[in-house]
Structure 1
């Protein structure tokens, strides 16, 4: 009996060691933990790879007029500023024959950026990013000129200063607004380098129309020199500036500060009303908000580097973000201009969506792999209770302690399988109470059978010496 109990204790100890240290097949719980970790790791790697791929510099094409023009110069400076200050954005400049062709190609959706003067036809998909420059109309006349307003130009000889036909076209548009006939009027377009003193000399033109950038006027000394050579000239206001602004979209009422053209003599001698145009940097409406926001930030943080020799873009202004603006601001530019604060979700929504997408795909793959291939279907504990009962049915037939020990080994083997299986998930706890009852029943039956055989063996051992004594008595 003692040896049998000791054998059972040794079996239980070996079972405990097997549970803690044996190399068992990977269980369901271990697989679930492993697949979860792999899902997290692969999702992180996928998101990082996607962000790295998407993080390659985005190139925006900027279409401009001919090389050497103010548009091409500004575009080149913008490209340099972007390259020096951004890792994710690049600007590629494409030159065309003239500004009209550049705007036409932009209107066809072939490019991302363009510059336009507000007297041009605005493409439907153009969205404002920044106001680069204000140009004002100067109506100059010789000293003592009787031309005081646009209406006084009827029948006069007028010179329009401009590198192309746009300035003359704008001037003729103004005349049409007020039904000022050009019959009998001489209008000639002359290049910007034409000497103004010759144009305003006696016997010359009655008026000179120049549309000049405020950046250039502020730094240009030629008007002051002209006033000294001619002993003065006239600069007439456009009294109808407010009305023209309302009648002609893209034309704006402007004011020329006193003394802006010449300090001595002072021209104009007081603030003067006139009309003007704006140069606006526009982007395609399909250009991403993030790209335009980054572009607007670079422009306004590096304005000094974008100015062209005190001639253009020396005072870049934010685009008009009102809904009734002449050119609606791009959402990306409006976001930067209005300093909209992004929430956490707004700022990282792309990463969150990418993470959820990659995670769901990878998790679905692992769930399918686990369900169809690697998952171990757990054995219900109640199924093993049947095996315990079958072992117990052989107890009554065992005629020796050795046979009972073999039954004991088999019973403990079933117990070991249940304990290990409950730990690694290969055995479910369904019917565990029934297994416990069956195991205890068979174990008790085994103990009783061991005791029975032990008592029987003890009785046989005690009877043998007594019989020997009776046999020897007659001798």
Structure 2
């Protein structure tokens, strides 16, 4: 279409240079270049927007995870996960926030100082906490140490404790300094009708167990931790060294406790899990268990939690080789009546409903395209509205050119024709400017070219006719001849 317009505009009067053709070519070329630059700019803008959105969506995100106390197994597991995530350049990274224990970690999450936290399921769970994974399950181990060899005969003859109900009025030692283990013991004692207020509860560190047994400071011990906990195993080993094989106290009412306290579950301690000959314990022992959970802040985006959960279970095997306790990591309970509600992001991973990048952002992309289309339409309408006066003026100029065709065919003066030619050149200049600005389309320009060609033909024909017409004699000569009487 552009080349045909150039050919049409290049057809001008034959007796002179063609000023129109090169001008039209220049205008057309300039317009094409401008359009190309506009298209290129739009493409670059779209590519830049998509690249920027992809970068912000996929850039690594660091989550703060509260865990404690320092040097605990939980801290070691979290540190191993942190190093593995960083080494594999995962999209989610971890930054440990050390606390004084599970209670401190729960407080940090509730106060917004952490995005994730390792908490005990039998403690008060923050209202903004949602489960992501089960870091490990713990069991309660109750045992009565044998009397040390150095004990007096009177003390050795004391009634042997074989049931939890017999702990009434006794002295019970708890391994570890956390108050949560004290609360656990009280739950067990109350289930068997033992008033915790009538029991003397003393907390020991692992290093103090042997001395407590030797000096007969306690009648029974309670330890809470994983089945293969080194702390529990060391405490039982110390009991054996000082007095011989201990007596394990079963929690036969474990299921009843679980019914009354949903944070606990009925469990069993496998026979021989603590080693030795004979095996310790010799038979399975009923007990209760509770979990250490990795929980996330409720407002944490679902895609972020899904990515973290996916990374956690994908890398568990690698971390397990370095730190066997990581093998205890399990998926959370996704039931609606779970003690700790699951985070939607973790549930999406567990249920296989995790959304891809396009699934998450397809609506935004679609609405963005619709918005860009709407803005483009509005912009085109607004630009057309701003050029309304220019189009109106151009229409008037075209009508003026058509009127000049009729005037040129009746004109008797070459000077008048030259003046109209000059006016036509100005009309041409204004029309080309309108075309370059986008005020008129190529179809309108074609119609104008036809009118312009007809005008030039009319001027050329009229000039040729005037050149062939005889010249009228001067008026002065006529008067002179009349005066002479000839």
State the distance in 2 between where 1:304 and 1:287 align: 26
1:338 counterpart (327, 341, 351): 351
Corresponding residue SS for 2:203: strand
Matches of residues 390-469 of structure 1 in structure 2 within 5 Å?
390-398=404-412, 425-428=438-441, 449=462, 452-453=465-466, 456=469
Q: Provide the aligned C-alpha RMSD in A.
A: 4.7
Unpaired runs of 5+ in structure 2? 1-10, 148-158, 471-486
Deviations 1:79-118 (A, max 9, x none): 3233223354332223334443332232222221211111
Matches of residues 281-430 of structure 1 in structure 2 within 5 Å?
281-304=294-317, 306=319, 312-342=325-355, 345-349=358-362, 352=365, 356=369, 359=372, 377-378=390-391, 380=394, 383-398=397-412, 425-428=438-441
2:164 counterpart (150, 153, 168): 150
Deviations 1:223-259 (A, max 9, x none): 5786688553322321111111110121111122232
1:162 counterpart (176, 179, 202): 176
State the distance in 1 between where 2:387 and 2:33 align: 11
Deviations 1:415-468 (A, max 9, x none): 7986997688454578889868966876775576467557657xxxxxxxxxxx
State the distance in 1 between where 2:185 and 2:179 align: 10
8 Å contact from structure 1 (residues 296, 333) kept in 2: yes
Provide the aligned length of Structure 1 versus Structure 2: 450
Structure 1 equivalent of residue 130 of structure 2:
127
1:8 counterpart (6, 13, 31): 13
TM-score by length of 1: 0.75
Corresponding residue SS for 2:410: coil
Shift of 1:278: 0.8
Corresponding position: 1:257 with 2:270: yes
TM-score by length of 2: 0.73
Unpaired runs of 5+ in structure 1? 1-5, 458-475
State the distance in 1 between where 2:319 and 2:62 align: 19
Change beyond 3 A, Cα 1:169–1:392: same
State the distance in 1 between where 2:131 and 2:380 align: 50
Corresponding residue SS for 2:142: strand
Corresponding position: 1:110 with 2:118: no
More displaced 10-residue stretch of structure 1: 343-352 or 435-444: 435-444
Shift of 1:132: 0.9
Shift of 1:41: 1.9
8 Å contact from structure 2 (residues 64, 95) kept in 1: yes
Corresponding residue SS for 1:392: helix
